[in-house]
Structure formats: structure tokens, C-alpha cells
Structure 1
């Protein structure tokens, strides 16, 4: 019997030992499962008629937040080969489902990590820290190898107590605007994989001093505990005499799995002990609870609360390397070569076919690279800027020399402030931006960008990042579309 684990719900079921006909490559073809449609398309080009490929994350879905279905898990169980992007692109539920359910002896290949051996170039994930309040998230530092941890391991950060004059609420705003609460009513817990961090929103219903007590565990392994202090709308320097006050930049509440301790970690490398630090939530952080039933846990619509905003849309659990390598066609070629060698190892009889398919596809990708470069080069240097809603285009910017002027990602938990609109307006006006670019599945959630662009006469154009749809159904068509959209809209 096989044990199928749908990681999102920790659902366990049993099935007969023989695969169901719909999932069986009874004609001898290699069954391949990938995490995303982009990877599936690359595998089909290399594998040709010798492979059957299923993608876990469907078109139009968000790989950062997708929850696998039982059907997805069944595909994993009967796979001969599995490919993920990883570098924490995919939701942890997808990775856990993949790692827990692959048959014994079937290797899972993380393409973004393995492709560096084929000359793929990786770049750091650069995040916008232009907020006028501190950007506070959660982090797991280290890989925990001495504890036997893997990428599927859960490190749980649990709330053990909350004190303060009102309620402290911490939550994530998902990629489609749905909130997921971490702390509410004095309780809560969140799981993160090793060497990852995520962004959070923090809300406080009354001004005053709050203390949040936390404990970190991984199974039976105790990893530390401590209490974080917040000064909300009050003088932070009188709360803990002599303590450091954190008021801006990017800081994470951090579980160090190698050192078994908790501390506050900032992007400049600074580590601050909980008991010698105060996090300031200033009076300028006052916001109104938005309308709509999705945010009733914050209070009645229109009620004013103090908030440290999430700033980046989506759950956005990630590491330190930008995982969107395929936006540089040269990196997609490295993926292709790694896919070829993996399929040859799994199916030596198909070596000649895989090599021939790869040679053909690499030539096609070289032509694609030339097309993307020529299209972007056609945009005058003074007009060559990207303003988008998603930080998925760093590789496109670096490979094809088109600077990213900004990521405009309004936090759907609150209305955009006057300062937000002013910064956006100044960016578009000062750089004389001709067009802004939205991923089609994010357009409905980008009202601020659309509104400001419309007022300034700036075009709103499409660009694709992580997923296909009915219009763009392959990697080559996606990259051609993006290049042509940039050239058409910016010239």
C-alpha cells in the first residue's frame, strides 16, 4: 500500500498498489511530475514523445500559495522523475507533498539550484525597504542539519502569551487578497521551512506597550523562546531603559535552528536580543480597517488601528536568492540541459532522443534570447524602465538591461496612503514612465497603480511572471510576449 500525504491538510489515505489507468504510462513512457507549468513545458520539449508530464500548480494559480489536491498527490506517487524550481519559489505545501510521496529511489531535482552547474546565473533577492515604518517578518535562520532537518521540515513558532492594552493581531495577506491569521486572541502558530522568511502585517487595536511571548520547536526539538516588546503610539525609549529601538528597515523575528535561539535579525546583519530591544509602531501607522468581511478579525470597517504593513503582497516565503531564474533565457537553457541529463539517467534507452530534442530546443531558446534582447534594445535608454506589481523580474532586468524602477504592490489590507500615491506619482512623473506592467492575474488587485497611471496618461500593459493562461501557453510564447509588450508599450 502507498501512503499519500496531501501536505496542506496532512491528509492520509490509502490506495491499491497498482496505479489507476488515468495516471499510468502503460505504453512505457516516463512519467514526470513538475511543480509548475513553466517547468512542465521545458520537460515536454526535452522529453518529446517519451514522457508524460503533469504539473502540480495549474495555469493561472499562484505557485507561492497553491495547496496540492489529492489528484496532485496521486500523480506524485506514480512519478518516475520529479522536478521543482525551489529556492523557495513554491509553497511549502507543494514541496512537502512532493518530498513525502515520491516512490523510493525517485530523485527530486531542484532546477534552480542544480542549474548553476550548467552556468546558470543567480542573483540575490533585493527587496524594497522604502516603508516609513519597520518592516517586520518571521525568519528561520540556518538549515538545521545537525538536527536532521530537510527542506520539508517544519519549524513551528508558537505564541505562548500576549499582553497589552488592546489586541495584537499578526497576519499574512495572500496573493489573492485573502488574509491568514498568525496571532489573534492571544494565541497562534506558524510553520516555516529552514532557511526561509516571510513578511507579515501587525495590527494593534489600542496604543500602549505590548509583549508577545513566543516558543520555537521542530517536532520534539526545542529551539528557544523569548518575548518581543512593541511600543505602539507611545514613546519607545521609556519602555525598556537602555534598549535599542527598531523603527525602520527590514527586521525579522528569527529562529536560529543551528544555535537554538531566538533574536531579531536586520538586513544589515545586526542581531538584537528580545529583552534589550523595543519595536516602535508609530502614531503615523494609524490605518482604518478596510471594508469587506475578509478583515472583520481586525474590527469594524473604518475603525482606526495601528499597523506595521506587510508591504509585499502574498505569503512570500522565500530565501535569499531570487528564484525566478527563467526570466533570463540563458538560465532556461541551463534548466534544459539539466532536464536532459536527468531524463537520460532515468531512461538510458532514450538518450539519443533526449539529446536531439535538447539540441533543437536550445537552438530555439538562442533565437528567443536574441529576440528578447533585440526587442528591449529597441526601447530608447531614457524610456527603458520597468514598474511592476511583483518582484519577479530581476533576472529580466539584469540580463536585458532594463532597470526596474519599482515594485508597486499595494497592500490589499489597507487603502493606499497619500504617501504611497505620492511616491508612485513622483516615480512615474520624474522618470517620465511611458507604461506600467501588470501580470494579468494581478490586474484586479492593482487599482492604485491603474488609477495613478490613468491620471498621468501612463499606459497599463501586460507582462507574465510565474504562470501561463489561455493566451500564453508555453515558455517561448511567454518570453516573446513579454519582450514585445515592453517594446510596444515603452516606445
Structure 2
């Protein structure tokens, strides 16, 4: 086996890896006003590496998100903002890959006239292929998130705008809470009816903030059985200074541990009790509704449900015990029971409809390179010949890499070509190179998975005869459930890279080659 893979496998199985607990290393060079080179800021290290290969000696490039850090949740520092101010050109992936704070830091601090390129969207003009983000959470109850639809162009919305979805009132026999579990299990609240709703502060304590065209996973908890009615209001914040634009208000009804067909005043109402659903703000129609796919069969089957004639069921099988972890005392004393619709995926996870991880298909990375080339030529025409030569050389390397990845994965027997992981970052890898994404997602990282959750994972592994599971090194500390089940089943625990580099894998080519070899070595041989 490749010695590098051996080293990474040893690291990834160490519980609570230090690499996952500390901030990533600063990567790239600090941008300054005195450097004669073109100053380039990127959001991630992967984009930084692509720019370095095209720009060569004519550019100084750094990334906002350090290596080892998660772009989905990274919060930029003052030093990051300083680099943005000096930049002559900026590259983000976007499609809601990056934490919204990263995008805001970029958009708010670039000088006027500096090109600000969203590579994932722009690369489509260069033949990049995009695929929908498919989430198969396989839950026993409905998955209920929050969503923003529409562009809000008529109101002047852009990717730095905020949609504020606030709870303003609640009626029911107990408390209703909506929260998500961030990195390493830290809860972040959006709604808590237990302390009231403060109109004086704009309901900030009971507000979820989303960028346009996004949706987020959410846990919903109810402390007693009965019927709950939650009033929610939406506003569009174009800038921190401007008055928010009102987008409407609605009441959402929950039947918690009681018959959803017998809710007073809701005779004949539709009942949502399975699949995917979102409390949705429509920017263009300026209203709130439920957008749901009850069968869990994909975006094409999602449709609008009027909250006035719809009941969301929280069944008795959603009754769970409060864990002993002090961070979750807000739910009640350890061992007491609450009804909970689970979050569905690990960690904070705000995203759109298109899978943003385009680079996992090397052909898409080539499209990124071509867009980067043309952007740098526009910024620095005197370097056009260098940029074109560098890009041509690098594209040839990537074409060779694409063949290597394809051939390496093709040598895995089709019956073993299954990827089980905890992060939905490998759809493009699967589509481009024939890997079946068979991964599961823990329903709620805040609590111990139920016996049904573990049984489902175990049955999947046994039925497909999966010999190994794959963890991203920077996320390994969050993945105790997967590692525990893997050890119980005698599976290998292997490394795979999704969004970021580390000290061992420092370039895009190394990352893709490592992933292919890790898949091959771990799926073709038994432990």
C-alpha cells in the first residue's frame, strides 16, 4: 500500500484527532500593497492551488479558509479581511459551499472594480457539469429544515443578503425549540419558545439567518405531547444599515404524539409525516409556505403546501431521551424524554440545490482552470502569454490525472465500489468515476444514535459486503458513530479528502490521486 495512505489511515482512526480540533494552518502568502505581483484571494486552499498553477510567478495568492478548516463553517478573521482589501482579483467556489460569513467578508471588502468570480457557476460556460445535491437521509420521521426560494432580484437581493426567518409566537402544551448542531456537537438556537419572543430586539433570539437560495438542516424538539402552533415571520436584510424588507408571516401546525387528522380547526388538512420538508421563504412571491417531498424521491417531486391546511406530524416514535452532555441541558434533565425531529446531517450544513463540490470530477477542475486563466488575462494582459502557457501545461497534467483516477477506480470490482462516509461531498466523484455513494448520515449528532439507526447502517454494510468506510481527516473527530460501527463490523477506516488540504496532502493533484488510491486499496482488499 502507498506509504502516504498508511500514514493517513493511522491518523484518521485516532479518536478526536488533534487535527480536527485545532484551527487550520495559514496557507498562501499575505497580500500587500507593495508586492508588484497580481494579488489574488481565494476562499479555499483547493482554489488557491489551481490559481497558483495558472498564475505562476506573476501572482501572490492566499486563501481565506486555512488548510484543515471546514469551508462550510469557517469564520473569517481580521487578518483575512486585510488580505481581501489588498486583492486585485477574488475567486470563490460559491453555490453555497462556503460559510456565508466568508462570502460576506469577500464581497464587502473588495475594492471597487476588482473581479469577484464564482468559479462553480462561471465554469458551466467552460463545459463544467453540475449535478443536483441529493440527500438520502433514510429517516423514520419527516426531516424538516428551513429554505429560501427565489432570487429576490426585484428587491435588490444578492449573495451577501440575509433572509431572516423569525419565530414571533408559539402556542402549545410545552416548549418548542429549533436548533442545529454545529461542529463537535455545539448547539446553535433558532427558536426557543421557553423564554418568550422579544419584539423589542426584532426577535433576534429566535431568528434563523440564511443566504438567498439556501436551505439548512434543523432539529425540532417538543417537550410535551399535543398540538403546537408556531408563528413565523420573514424579512430580507439587504445591508446591515437598511431597514429589512417584510416577506410575510404564517402559522405552522405540529401534531406531537397525537392524531394529526384530529387537530382542531384542521379537518381535511394534508399531513406531512415523511420525506423532506422545509419551512420556506419565497423571495419573489414574498410569502412563507411548506415546500415538501413526502416520498423523499427527489427535487422533481417537491411541491408547495399551504401551512393553513397542513399538519406536520411528530409521531410517538420520535420520543427520545435527553443525553447526559451538559450542552443539551436546554432540552431538559438527562434521561427525560422529548419529541424530536432530527437534524438529518452532521454539523452545520447550509447549502443550495446544486452540489457545490465540482472539483471531485477532474474534468470540472479543468473548467475552473480555464476560467481562472481568462480572468487573470483580463486583470494582467501583459502576462497573457504566461497564463495561457501555464494553463495549457496544467490542463495536460489534469487530463493525465483524470485518466489515472478513472483507471485506478475502474480496477475496483464493481460489487465493491461503494463509498460510505459522513459528508455529502463526493457526488461528482461517484458520477464521474463509477463509485456508488452508499453513505449514511447520523440522524442527530447531538444524541446517541438509536438502535434502528445503527441497525440500518449495519444492514447496509452487511448487505453490500462493504469492506471499508471513509472519513475526511479534518472531520474525523465528529464521526464517532461511523467509526464505532465500523470497528464492530471489522471494517477498515480509511481516509478521503473532500474540501480541504492538510500537511500531508497539499495540492489538488495529490488529493485526487490519494482519494483514488485510498478507494482502491481499501475496497479491493479485506482487513
TM-score category, normalised to shorter length: over 0.9
Aligned position for 1:192: 210
Match of 1:385 among 397, 418, 443: 418
Asked if 1:467 corresponds to 2:500, the answer is yes
Within 1, Cα distance between the matches of 2:471 and 2:457? 15
Within 2, Cα distance between the matches of 1:40 and 1:303? 49
Aligned position for 2:191: 183
Structure 2 CA distance for partners of 1:362 and 1:143, relative to 1, 3 Å: same
Match of 1:260 among 273, 277, 286: 286
Deviations 1:128-165 (A, max 9, x none): 14111010011111000011111111111111111111
Task: Output aligned runs, 1:40-79, within 5 Å.
Answer: 40-79=48-87
Secondary structure of the residue aligned to 1:170 is strand
Aligned position for 1:94: 102
Deviation of the 1:66 alpha carbon = 1.1
Asked if 1:307 corresponds to 2:340, the answer is yes
Task: Output aligned runs, 1:318-337, within 5 Å.
Answer: 318-337=351-370
Unaligned residue ranges in structure 1 (runs of 5+): 1-20
Asked if 1:426 corresponds to 2:459, the answer is yes
Deviations 1:421-458 (A, max 9, x none): 11111110011111111111222222222222222221
Aligned position for 1:361: 394
Within 1, Cα distance between the matches of 2:338 and 2:52? 51
Aligned position for 2:306: 273
Secondary structure of the residue aligned to 2:183 is coil
Asked if 1:231 corresponds to 2:231, the answer is no
Aligned position for 2:225: 207
Match of 1:141 among 135, 149, 152: 149
Structure 2 CA distance for partners of 1:254 and 1:408, relative to 1, 3 Å: closer
Structure 2 CA distance for partners of 1:417 and 1:280, relative to 1, 3 Å: same
Unaligned residue ranges in structure 2 (runs of 5+): 1-28, 198-205, 238-243, 294-300
Within 2, Cα distance between the matches of 1:462 and 1:223? 45
Secondary structure of the residue aligned to 1:225 is strand
Secondary structure of the residue aligned to 2:230 is strand
Within 2, Cα distance between the matches of 1:27 and 1:196? 38
Asked if 1:339 corresponds to 2:372, the answer is yes
Aligned position for 1:4: none
- Contact 1:387–1:408, Cα closer than 8 Å, also in 2: no
Deviation of the 1:25 alpha carbon = 4.9
Asked if 1:403 corresponds to 2:436, the answer is yes
- Contact 1:161–1:213, Cα closer than 8 Å, also in 2: yes
- Contact 2:344–2:441, Cα closer than 8 Å, also in 1: no
TM-score, normalized by length of structure 1? 0.94
Deviation of the 1:304 alpha carbon = 1.1
Within 2, Cα distance between the matches of 1:53 and 1:290? 45
Count of aligned positions: 471
Within 2, Cα distance between the matches of 1:217 and 1:126? 28
- Contact 2:376–2:387, Cα closer than 8 Å, also in 1: yes
Aligned position for 2:486: 453
Deviation of the 1:363 alpha carbon = 1.3
Secondary structure of the residue aligned to 1:407 is coil
TM-score, normalized by length of structure 2? 0.88
- Contact 1:390–1:409, Cα closer than 8 Å, also in 2: no
Deviation of the 1:26 alpha carbon = 2.1
Aligned position for 2:236: 218
Deviation of the 1:410 alpha carbon = 5.3
Structure 2 CA distance for partners of 1:235 and 1:22, relative to 1, 3 Å: closer
CA RMSD of aligned residues (A): 1.3
- Contact 2:72–2:98, Cα closer than 8 Å, also in 1: yes
Within 2, Cα distance between the matches of 1:34 and 1:142? 27
Within 2, Cα distance between the matches of 1:297 and 1:266? 29
Deviation of the 1:266 alpha carbon = 0.9
Within 2, Cα distance between the matches of 1:431 and 1:156? 43
- Contact 1:227–1:274, Cα closer than 8 Å, also in 2: yes
Within 2, Cα distance between the matches of 1:443 and 1:331? 27
Deviation of the 1:358 alpha carbon = 0.7
Deviation of the 1:192 alpha carbon = 1.0
- Contact 2:233–2:248, Cα closer than 8 Å, also in 1: yes
Aligned position for 1:170: 178
- Contact 2:139–2:443, Cα closer than 8 Å, also in 1: no
Within 1, Cα distance between the matches of 2:183 and 2:374? 35
- Contact 1:409–1:446, Cα closer than 8 Å, also in 2: no
Within 2, Cα distance between the matches of 1:161 and 1:385? 46
Within 1, Cα distance between the matches of 2:326 and 2:510? 39
